[in-house]
A and B are shown apart, each in its own frame.
Chain A
Amino acid sequence: MKTDIKHTIQTRDLTIGYRTKKSELVIGSNFNVTLQSGKLVCLLGKNGIGKSTLLRTLSRLQPQLKGEIWIDQEKIEHWTAPELAQKISTVFTERIPANNLTVYELIALGRQPYTNWLGKLSEIDHRYINLAISQTQCETLLNKKHHELSDGQLQKVMIARSLAQNTPIITLDEPTAHLDMHHKISLFILLKQLAKKMNKAILVSTHEIHYALEMADELWLMNEQGITSGETEKLIKNNALDELFSTELMRFDALKRQFVFTKD
């Protein structure tokens, strides 16, 4: 099911933030970044810098304040809601409300942009659901209710749901939070595979800098000045990572490929 068509998100002088009737709260501005098919991109930045706001803006959950977002060579505003739902799927940090949904039903909801007015699943829908299940190895969970799952299991299921949505672009907001090391690594490996084998464009916000450096094709480094984006190795070479946290307490060691404490 790999496609060779290029899918992209591109921003031009994007300003994100929140608008009320009287005032604007600008979170960040002048973002010029591109996300492409086949790439796993990690969005790094300190707490509160606006990573979640950016991800929400890119999937049109909140409007941008200024600038443009282009999705597949078309402005984001021009896509209808169902069309956009076939372009971008998302994994949020929030827990889902208490109810009786089983894991299978939850994953199947990912097919909603494709089903008829009553949400009836077709043969094709079932095929995509089963593919998503086998890719994330959720087979043993299918008949459980979602509130019976552990954090790691739930995270896998939510990713399966977005895979079932079969979109060329996937954004994930801190999917590795609450996971142990083994689950973090297998998650990154899964995302990398999806980017390579299925040519998906994947944007992950994360605090796992170590794994991000290891696995990402590109990094988006977000700080008060804006976003610096590029291939991981180039960014390391240009000392771009030093700008990530504006602090004296630590610096990025290019040889060790990690942040180290500043001596005395």
Chain B
Amino acid sequence: MLWLLLILFGCLLMNLSLGSVDIPFTEMLKGLFGAEIKPSWHHILLNYRLPKSITAIIVGGGLAICGLLMQTLFRNPLAGPFVLGVSSGASLGVALLLMGAGLFTVSVSPFLLSNLALSIAASAGAIFVLAIILTVSRNIKNTMSILIIGLMFGSFTAAIISVLAYFSSAEKLQQYVFWTFGSLGNLNWVEISILSSFFLLSIGLVLPLIKSLNSLLLGERYAISLGVNLKKTRNHTMLITGLLTGVITAFVGPIAFIGLAVPHLTKLVVKTSDHRILIPATALGGAILMLICDTIAQLPSSAYTLPINAVTSLFGAPIVIWLLVRKRKVY
């Protein structure tokens, strides 16, 4: 665990140092600890890079934990933070705001296009879908059915978005597509503090679940016979995942891949199924991978930036395939 922390720290420094403007490593360290450096570097470091890095750590850690929770709950290696349809809900909120509003009104007030409005729309959409899924699944015994219901909600909202997209103008469509690319760099310190409080709250709520999650490793029947309240555990887990992914998606867009892949990568590295170790290790792994992806997305020393959502899959997927082929084993 300690060396994961060290790697995280190293990645953080690398992420802070590299970007379209190269800040030499030593200067960057000086700037961080308050010494005099070039004012422009100082500005970039504290108002742009540091918030972005912190966002990356929270987003990566949060999504990875959600992925782990879903994979354990559904005992399905393909589950991820988005299987409950929560990110589709967030997308729907944003799509309705950007494309739906344009359909019915001639002029869109500038407020509707602000970051804050996007976040609110995304949160509203995410909470809406989460509420529906929690209600529908309240009387469902079979956990697998819930997984399928979540996927159906995802398809359903995606279909609505397609319809909206079909009827909206190219400009609106483009705005929406840009949102789906994801962006770690748009958050100010206030937004970051909101995001981190949700993150810490979720971590706090996950802790009492750890024991039940470990029982679930034996399957639902054994978990119940060990005294686990399955329904409570299930709803509790879904609520945490829904809230955390909802808030993350609201602020940075739907970040693919991290939530699905990081738990697998982590299990290859730490080789345990004990959630007392897995949860912190997965969070660290998610944060590390997100920082690396963000560093790559910045295309160091060039003026271009790749969409973060493309980078996570573009570089992450081959790594996972390679690791799994090399290991040839059930993790």
Interface residues of A (CB under 8 A from B): 56, 59-61, 80-86, 88-90, 92, 94, 96-101, 105-106, 109-110, 112-113, 115, 117-119, 147, 161, 165
Contacts and interface: CB of A to CB of B under 8 A. Distances in A.
B219 A97 contact: yes
A100 B272 contact: yes
Contact of B226 (A96, A101, A113): A113
B274 A113 contact: no
A113 B217 contact: no
A107 to B, nearest CB: 11
A19 to B, nearest CB: 11
A139 to B, nearest CB: 21
Give chain A's interface secondary structure class.
loop
B172 interface: no
B210 to A, nearest CB: 6
B30 interface: no
Nearest to A80: B227
B273 A109 contact: no
Contacts of A61: 221, 224-225
A97 B331 CA distance: 12
A106 B210 CA distance: 15
B330 interface: yes
B218 A109 contact: yes
B225 A59 contact: yes
A109 B215 contact: yes
B43 interface: no
A163 to B, nearest CB: 14
Contact of B330 (A85, A90, A147): A147
Given A94-B221, A117-B211, A99 B273 contact: yes
Contacts of B219: 92, 94, 96-97
Contacts of A90: 221-222, 225
B229 interface: yes
A59 B221 CA distance: 10
Interface in B247-290: 267, 271-274, 276
B144 to A, nearest CB: 12
B225 A119 contact: no
B219 to A, nearest CB: 5
Given A98-B330, A112-B215, A119-B214, A165 B226 contact: yes
Nearest to A165: B226
A100 B274 CA distance: 8
A115 B211 CA distance: 9
B274 A81 contact: no
A55 to B, nearest CB: 11
Given A59-B225, A81-B227, A96-B222, A101 B215 contact: no
A80 B331 CA distance: 35
Contacts of B208: 117
Contact of A88 (B75, B215, B225): B225
9 contacts: A59-B225, A81-B229, A92-B221, A92-B222, A97-B218, A98-B330, A109-B218, A119-B214, A119-B276
Contacts of A89: 225
A81 B227 CA distance: 5
Contact of A85 (B218, B221, B227, B267): B227
In this complex, the member of A59, A118, A165 whose beta carbon has the largest number of chain B beta carbons within 10 angstroms is A118
Contacts of A117: 208, 211
A202 B75 CA distance: 30
Contacts of B214: 109, 112, 119
B228 interface: yes
B217 A85 contact: no
A235 B228 CA distance: 39
B222 A81 contact: no
A109 B217 contact: yes
A118 B274 contact: no
Contacts of A97: 75, 217-219
B227 A113 contact: yes
Contact of B273 (A86, A101, A165): A101
Given A94-B221, A98-B330, 12 more contacts: A56-B221, A81-B224, A81-B227, A83-B227, A90-B222, A97-B219, A100-B272, A101-B217, A101-B273, A113-B226, A113-B227, A117-B208
A100 B218 CA distance: 11
Given A61-B224, A81-B227, A85-B227, A96 B211 contact: no
A71 to B, nearest CB: 13
Nearest to A110: B226
In this complex, the member of B224, B229, B331 whose beta carbon has the largest number of chain A beta carbons within 10 angstroms is B224
A209 B331 CA distance: 40
Nearest to A95: B219
